Amino acid sequence: MKVGQKALLFISVLFLLTIFSPYSVPGSVVSAASDTPQDIIADTVEALRDMDTSLDSSVFRRVLRRAQGVAIFPSVTEIALLGVGGMSGNGLVLRKDRDTGEWYGPAFLKISTLGVGARIGIQSLDLLLVINDSDGLGAFMKKTFKFGGTLAWTVGPIGRSVSVEIDSELTAPIYSYSIAKGLYFDAGSLEGSTIKDHSSANRAFWGEEISNKIILEERRVINTEVMKICNYIDNMGTD
Protein backbone atom coordinates (compact mmCIF):
# COMPACT_ATOMS: atom_id res chain seq x y z
CA MET A 1 0.00 0.00 0.00
CA LYS A 2 1.38 3.40 -0.99
CA VAL A 3 2.00 6.12 1.59
CA GLY A 4 -0.85 8.22 0.26
CA GLN A 5 -3.25 5.29 0.44
CA LYS A 6 -2.17 4.54 4.00
CA ALA A 7 -2.75 8.15 4.99
CA LEU A 8 -6.19 8.17 3.44
CA LEU A 9 -7.07 4.92 5.19
CA PHE A 10 -5.81 6.28 8.53
CA ILE A 11 -7.85 9.47 8.14
CA SER A 12 -10.92 7.45 7.16
CA VAL A 13 -10.64 5.23 10.23
CA LEU A 14 -10.22 8.22 12.55
CA PHE A 15 -13.17 10.00 10.99
CA LEU A 16 -15.32 6.87 11.14
CA LEU A 17 -14.51 6.33 14.81
CA THR A 18 -15.34 9.97 15.48
CA ILE A 19 -18.72 9.88 13.82
CA PHE A 20 -19.58 6.30 14.73
CA SER A 21 -21.91 7.46 17.45
CA PRO A 22 -25.69 7.45 17.09
CA TYR A 23 -25.78 10.89 18.70
CA SER A 24 -23.83 12.39 15.81
CA VAL A 25 -26.26 11.09 13.20
CA PRO A 26 -29.74 12.47 12.46
CA GLY A 27 -32.37 10.57 14.43
CA SER A 28 -34.44 9.96 11.30
CA VAL A 29 -31.83 7.49 10.11
CA VAL A 30 -30.03 6.14 13.16
CA SER A 31 -31.11 6.19 16.80
CA ALA A 32 -29.07 5.53 19.93
CA ALA A 33 -28.60 1.83 20.57
CA SER A 34 -30.31 0.60 23.72
CA ASP A 35 -27.97 -0.75 26.36
CA THR A 36 -30.10 -1.76 29.35
CA PRO A 37 -31.87 -5.16 29.34
CA GLN A 38 -35.28 -3.48 29.56
CA ASP A 39 -34.59 -1.23 26.57
CA ILE A 40 -33.13 -4.06 24.48
CA ILE A 41 -36.18 -6.20 25.21
CA ALA A 42 -38.61 -3.36 24.39
CA ASP A 43 -36.78 -2.53 21.16
CA THR A 44 -36.74 -6.23 20.21
CA VAL A 45 -40.52 -6.42 20.51
CA GLU A 46 -40.85 -3.35 18.28
CA ALA A 47 -38.36 -4.76 15.75
CA LEU A 48 -40.27 -8.04 15.54
CA ARG A 49 -43.51 -6.18 14.87
CA ASP A 50 -41.86 -4.31 12.00
CA MET A 51 -40.42 -7.56 10.61
CA ASP A 52 -43.75 -9.34 10.88
CA THR A 53 -45.38 -6.57 8.87
CA SER A 54 -42.64 -6.76 6.23
CA LEU A 55 -42.63 -10.54 5.90
CA ASP A 56 -43.75 -11.76 2.51
CA SER A 57 -41.92 -15.09 2.39
CA SER A 58 -43.46 -18.46 3.27
CA VAL A 59 -39.93 -19.86 3.13
CA PHE A 60 -38.90 -17.55 5.96
CA ARG A 61 -41.79 -18.76 8.08
CA ARG A 62 -40.67 -22.30 7.36
CA VAL A 63 -37.18 -21.44 8.60
CA LEU A 64 -38.63 -20.00 11.81
CA ARG A 65 -40.66 -23.15 12.46
CA ARG A 66 -37.48 -25.24 12.32
CA ALA A 67 -35.33 -22.84 14.35
CA GLN A 68 -33.41 -23.97 17.42
CA GLY A 69 -32.88 -20.37 18.41
CA VAL A 70 -33.04 -16.75 17.33
CA ALA A 71 -30.79 -13.73 17.87
CA ILE A 72 -32.32 -10.28 17.46
CA PHE A 73 -30.37 -7.03 17.17
CA PRO A 74 -32.71 -4.01 17.04
CA SER A 75 -31.43 -0.70 15.68
CA VAL A 76 -27.96 -1.79 14.58
CA THR A 77 -25.99 1.19 13.29
CA GLU A 78 -23.98 0.73 10.08
CA ILE A 79 -21.79 3.52 8.69
CA ALA A 80 -19.21 3.59 5.90
CA LEU A 81 -17.11 6.43 4.53
CA LEU A 82 -14.16 6.52 2.11
CA GLY A 83 -14.09 2.74 1.92
CA VAL A 84 -14.02 2.15 5.70
CA GLY A 85 -17.14 0.81 7.36
CA GLY A 86 -18.40 -0.28 10.75
CA MET A 87 -21.45 -1.82 12.37
CA SER A 88 -22.44 -1.80 16.03
CA GLY A 89 -25.43 -2.75 18.13
CA ASN A 90 -26.89 -4.69 21.04
CA GLY A 91 -29.32 -7.57 21.08
CA LEU A 92 -30.34 -10.85 22.65
CA VAL A 93 -30.47 -14.55 21.84
CA LEU A 94 -33.04 -17.18 22.78
CA ARG A 95 -32.95 -20.97 22.48
CA LYS A 96 -35.97 -23.14 21.73
CA ASP A 97 -36.22 -26.77 22.76
CA ARG A 98 -37.72 -28.37 19.67
CA ASP A 99 -39.01 -31.35 21.68
CA THR A 100 -40.82 -29.47 24.44
CA GLY A 101 -41.41 -26.10 22.76
CA GLU A 102 -39.90 -24.32 25.77
CA TRP A 103 -37.76 -21.22 25.35
CA TYR A 104 -34.53 -20.45 27.22
CA GLY A 105 -32.89 -17.08 27.80
CA PRO A 106 -32.44 -14.29 27.09
CA ALA A 107 -28.68 -13.97 26.84
CA PHE A 108 -27.65 -10.48 25.82
CA LEU A 109 -25.19 -9.76 23.00
CA LYS A 110 -23.12 -7.11 21.27
CA ILE A 111 -22.36 -7.11 17.54
CA SER A 112 -19.61 -5.10 15.85
CA THR A 113 -17.68 -4.91 12.59
CA LEU A 114 -14.91 -2.70 11.28
CA GLY A 115 -13.62 -3.30 7.78
CA VAL A 116 -12.39 -1.90 4.49
CA GLY A 117 -14.24 -2.12 1.19
CA ALA A 118 -15.97 -0.25 -1.60
CA ARG A 119 -18.75 1.03 0.62
CA ILE A 120 -20.29 4.36 1.46
CA GLY A 121 -23.44 5.30 3.30
CA ILE A 122 -25.36 5.01 6.54
CA GLN A 123 -28.27 2.99 7.79
CA SER A 124 -30.00 1.63 10.84
CA LEU A 125 -31.26 -1.93 10.62
CA ASP A 126 -33.14 -4.46 12.68
CA LEU A 127 -31.39 -7.79 12.32
CA LEU A 128 -32.81 -11.24 13.03
CA LEU A 129 -30.56 -14.31 12.89
CA VAL A 130 -32.40 -17.62 12.72
CA ILE A 131 -30.27 -20.36 14.28
CA ASN A 132 -30.95 -23.60 12.46
CA ASP A 133 -28.79 -26.25 14.14
CA SER A 134 -26.62 -27.10 17.15
CA ASP A 135 -23.43 -25.78 15.50
CA GLY A 136 -24.95 -22.36 15.01
CA LEU A 137 -26.43 -22.39 18.49
CA GLY A 138 -23.11 -23.43 20.02
CA ALA A 139 -21.47 -20.27 18.67
CA PHE A 140 -23.85 -18.07 20.64
CA MET A 141 -22.96 -19.94 23.83
CA LYS A 142 -19.37 -18.74 23.53
CA LYS A 143 -18.09 -15.51 25.06
CA THR A 144 -17.19 -14.26 21.59
CA PHE A 145 -17.14 -15.51 18.00
CA LYS A 146 -16.71 -14.15 14.51
CA PHE A 147 -18.55 -14.92 11.27
CA GLY A 148 -16.25 -16.18 8.53
CA GLY A 149 -12.67 -17.41 8.72
CA THR A 150 -12.50 -20.82 10.34
CA LEU A 151 -16.19 -20.73 11.23
CA ALA A 152 -17.96 -22.62 8.47
CA TRP A 153 -21.40 -21.10 9.00
CA THR A 154 -23.32 -19.77 6.06
CA VAL A 155 -24.93 -16.41 6.72
CA GLY A 156 -27.13 -15.00 4.01
CA PRO A 157 -26.63 -11.43 2.82
CA ILE A 158 -28.51 -8.73 4.72
CA GLY A 159 -31.69 -7.81 2.92
CA ARG A 160 -35.44 -7.41 3.19
CA SER A 161 -36.12 -11.13 2.87
CA VAL A 162 -34.54 -14.30 4.07
CA SER A 163 -31.56 -15.48 2.01
CA VAL A 164 -32.22 -19.07 0.98
CA GLU A 165 -30.81 -19.21 -2.51
CA ILE A 166 -27.62 -20.67 -1.03
CA ASP A 167 -29.44 -23.68 0.39
CA SER A 168 -32.84 -24.69 -0.99
CA GLU A 169 -33.24 -27.41 1.66
CA LEU A 170 -32.87 -24.90 4.51
CA THR A 171 -30.00 -26.71 6.20
CA ALA A 172 -27.62 -23.77 6.66
CA PRO A 173 -26.71 -23.16 10.33
CA ILE A 174 -27.83 -19.52 10.33
CA TYR A 175 -30.06 -17.38 8.14
CA SER A 176 -30.44 -13.62 8.33
CA TYR A 177 -33.36 -11.28 7.85
CA SER A 178 -33.32 -7.52 8.24
CA ILE A 179 -35.22 -4.34 7.59
CA ALA A 180 -33.17 -1.23 7.01
CA LYS A 181 -33.66 2.53 7.10
CA GLY A 182 -31.18 4.90 5.56
CA LEU A 183 -28.87 5.10 2.57
CA TYR A 184 -26.19 2.49 1.99
CA PHE A 185 -24.22 1.39 -1.04
CA ASP A 186 -22.73 -2.12 -1.19
CA ALA A 187 -23.66 -2.90 2.41
CA GLY A 188 -22.12 -6.37 2.18
CA SER A 189 -22.94 -9.14 4.66
CA LEU A 190 -22.19 -10.27 8.18
CA GLU A 191 -18.81 -11.67 7.12
CA GLY A 192 -16.22 -10.64 9.69
CA SER A 193 -18.75 -9.44 12.25
CA THR A 194 -17.92 -10.20 15.88
CA ILE A 195 -20.58 -11.17 18.39
CA LYS A 196 -19.77 -11.00 22.11
CA ASP A 197 -21.70 -11.61 25.27
CA HIS A 198 -23.09 -8.42 26.82
CA SER A 199 -21.92 -9.26 30.34
CA SER A 200 -23.21 -6.10 32.03
CA ALA A 201 -26.71 -6.57 30.57
CA ASN A 202 -26.69 -10.25 31.58
CA ARG A 203 -25.66 -9.29 35.11
CA ALA A 204 -28.33 -6.59 35.34
CA PHE A 205 -31.07 -8.91 34.08
CA TRP A 206 -30.17 -12.10 35.97
CA GLY A 207 -28.73 -10.47 39.10
CA GLU A 208 -25.45 -12.38 38.93
CA GLU A 209 -22.41 -13.05 36.78
CA ILE A 210 -23.57 -15.70 34.35
CA SER A 211 -22.41 -17.02 30.98
CA ASN A 212 -24.46 -17.23 27.81
CA LYS A 213 -23.93 -20.99 27.83
CA ILE A 214 -25.58 -21.44 31.23
CA ILE A 215 -28.38 -19.05 30.32
CA LEU A 216 -29.22 -20.83 27.06
CA GLU A 217 -28.88 -24.31 28.52
CA GLU A 218 -30.55 -23.87 31.90
CA ARG A 219 -32.57 -20.67 32.28
CA ARG A 220 -36.14 -21.05 31.02
CA VAL A 221 -37.96 -17.91 29.94
CA ILE A 222 -40.11 -16.68 32.82
CA ASN A 223 -40.03 -12.92 32.28
CA THR A 224 -43.39 -11.79 30.91
CA GLU A 225 -41.92 -9.28 28.46
CA VAL A 226 -39.47 -11.85 27.08
CA MET A 227 -42.31 -14.37 26.82
CA LYS A 228 -44.05 -11.87 24.52
CA ILE A 229 -41.00 -12.09 22.23
CA CYS A 230 -41.13 -15.89 22.24
CA ASN A 231 -44.86 -15.95 21.50
CA TYR A 232 -44.37 -13.42 18.72
CA ILE A 233 -41.68 -15.57 17.12
CA ASP A 234 -43.87 -18.66 17.39
CA ASN A 235 -46.73 -16.78 15.73
CA MET A 236 -44.45 -15.43 13.00
CA GLY A 237 -43.56 -19.03 12.14
CA THR A 238 -47.14 -19.90 11.25
CA ASP A 239 -48.65 -19.51 7.78
Domain ranges of the chain: 3-236
pLDDT of residue 28: 40
Q: Check: CB of residue 48 under 8 Å from CB of residue 64.
A: no
Q: Is 109 helix (H, G, I), strand (E, B) or coil?
A: strand
pLDDT of residue 239: 61
Which of 145, 149, 168, 171 is closest to 71 using CA atoms? 145
- Distance between CA atoms of residues 85 and 12, nearest Å: 9
pLDDT of residue 237: 61
pLDDT of residue 145: 87
pLDDT of residue 7: 42
pTM metric for this prediction: 0.78
Pairing of β 69-81 and β 174-185: unpaired
For CA atoms 160, 165, 169, 173, give the dihedral sign. Answer: negative
pLDDT of residue 64: 82
User: Per-block average pLDDT, block size 10, for the chain (239 residues)?
Assistant: 44 44 42 78 91 70 85 86 78 95 96 69 83 88 79 45 49 78 55 88 97 97 95 80
Which of 61, 60, 94 is closest to 228 using CA atoms? 94
- Distance between CA atoms of residues 79 and 58, nearest Å: 31
pLDDT of residue 147: 76
The tally of CA atoms less than 13 A away on the side-chain side of residue 72 is 26
pLDDT of residue 2: 47
Put residue 182 in one of left, alpha, beta given phi > 0 → left and psi -120 to 50 → alpha.
Answer: left
pLDDT of residue 8: 40
pLDDT of residue 92: 97
pLDDT of residue 15: 44
- Distance between CA atoms of residues 57 and 103, nearest Å: 24
